[in-house]
Amino acid sequence: AQTVTQSQPEMSVQEAETVTLSCTYDTSESDYYLFWYKQPPSRQMILVIRQEAYKQQNATENRFSVNFQKAAKSFSLKISDSQLGDAAMYFCAYRSYGSSNTGKLIFGQGTTLQVKP
């Protein structure tokens, strides 16, 4: 069975600095996607960034980028130039597109990010 682990329950960063959130996963499949979702307080979860397992190049979306280490099964999120609006809970998630593809996401435990002014 696939699993996703986020080992940092809480992180904090100074405004304008850079922070990295960690995520590891376990799977025996080769066809999958990894995601980072952001949930601000009392608001809906939104997709921050996605990475296809077949692509070696790390995904980037503006100030958000990932470090995808497929062999190590690691998928960290880097937030550059942190802003107050980045404060939220961040969830790492996995979805199979292989034999066990049911469309469901498998989530980590979440990391609460605090941004200090």
Partner 1 sequence: EAGVTQFPSHSVIEKGQTVTLRCDPISGHDNLYWYRRVMGKEIKFLLHFVKESKQDESGMPNNRFLAERTGGTYSTLKVQPAELEDSGVYFCASSQKEGKGFRTTEAFFGQGTRLTVV
Query: Angle 2-47-65 (CA atoms, 0-180°, nearest 5)?
Result: 85
Contact in structure between 75 and 108 (CB atoms under 8 Å): no
Tally of CA atoms within 13 A in the half-sphere of 27 that contains its CB: 26
- The mark string for 37-76 relative to partner 1 (x by CB under 8 A, - otherwise) is x----xxxxxx--x-x------------------------
**Number of Cβ atoms within 10 Å of the Cβ of 65:** 17
Least distance to partner 1 from the beta carbon of 23, Å?
A: 12
Which listed residue (2, 67, 80, 109) binds partner 1 by CB under 8 A?
109
Which listed residue (61, 105, 114, 116) binds partner 1 by CB under 8 A?
105
Binding segment toward partner 1, per CB under 8 A, in 12-20, 36-44, 53-61, 65-73: 36-44
